[in-house]
Amino acid sequence: MKLRQNDIVWRATRLGYRYPSGDREAIDEATLGVTTGEIVALVGPNGSGKSTLIRLLVGAREPNRGETELLGRKLAAWSALEIARRVGIMAQHEEPAFPVTVRELVAMGRYPHLGAWRRPGADDLRAIEDALERCRVDTLADRSFVTLSGGERQRARLARALAQEPLALALDEPTAALDIASEMSIWELLRAEAAKRTTVLLSTHNLNLAARYADRVILLHRGRVAADGAPESVLDERTLSEVYGWPVRVVPHPGPGRDRGAPQVVPLHPESAS
């Protein structure tokens, strides 16, 4: 399936969800769209609904109200296998149910295309090795996944999602626990994927890298969309200070590089906020 530029990949209309034990809506009247080749970053404080929104958009949870579409078709009409063939998903936390090497973990990304019985062919093996190399875990391929550091695990799990060769990626904090070089390399990789028309929806706490790499930023606050647009319009001092409950300044990135001038958020000491 080939997508054209500006085709709608995800659409959510007045989406609502409350956890059974929740005292408020985790997602409340959320309306948004994500188009082909975009990098869209979900940002917001802890508990703002970023992970829940991703789960709703990939069918891991069913909304209490509202409507979600994937590729122009109601999400409820897709089977889990059909979604997996099109969307590479990376959850925030995960532990394998049984011991696996990194290569075996990444190879699981081919399962939606293989099914239960077909052995991997040449194209599958190429996709696995390519994903290992692009995420810089090829040298760890024969290591047990449980022996990896937190950052190494993140890169291995992203490699599994890329091995699916998906039309879109839905990533919940994919750069959490990464050092600077690894975090930057992942953002660069996602930018390269978007250039090939892979749609990227991710959650992140790194406002500054979201501003430098994302095409759009969606700011969530208590389950609602507080702002949605280009980074320079969403990362507003007053809005961010209110949503995060902490004073900030927004300054332009000094460069050099193509992201020179991108808004960068600087938390202030409370006593100097005035």
Note the pLDDT tens digit of each residue in 217-259: 999 999 999 999 999 999 999 999 999 999 999 999 999 999 9
Rounded-to-integer distance, Cα 137 and Cα 109, Å: 15
45 in any annotated domain: yes
Q: Going by C-beta distance under 8 Å and a sequence separation of 6 or more, which residues neighbour residue 55?
A: 61
Q: Are residues 253 and 269 in the same domain?
A: yes
Q: Are residues 158 and 255 in the same domain?
A: no
Continuous segment of H or E residues that includes residue 237: helix 237-244
As a whole number, the mean pLDDT across the chain is 94
User: How many domains is the chain partitioned into structurally?
Assistant: 2
Instruction: Give the C-alpha distances (Å, rounded to integers) separating 236 from 147, 211, 226, 227, 252.
Output: 42, 12, 11, 10, 12
Buried b (16+ CB within 10 A) or exposed e, 224-242: ebbbbeebeebbbbebbbe
Q: What residue numbers bound the domain in which 120 lies?
A: 93-165
Rounded-to-integer distance, Cα 270 and Cα 274, Å: 8
CATH number of the domain residue 63 falls in: 3.40.50.300
* 44 pLDDT more than 80: yes
246 in any annotated domain: yes
8 in any annotated domain: yes
Task: Convert the pLDDT of each residue in 136-173 to its tens digit.
Answer: 999 999 999 999 988 899 999 999 999 999 999 999 99
Task: Convert the pLDDT of each residue in 78-106 to its tens digit.
Answer: 999 999 999 999 998 777 778 999 999 99
171 in any annotated domain: yes
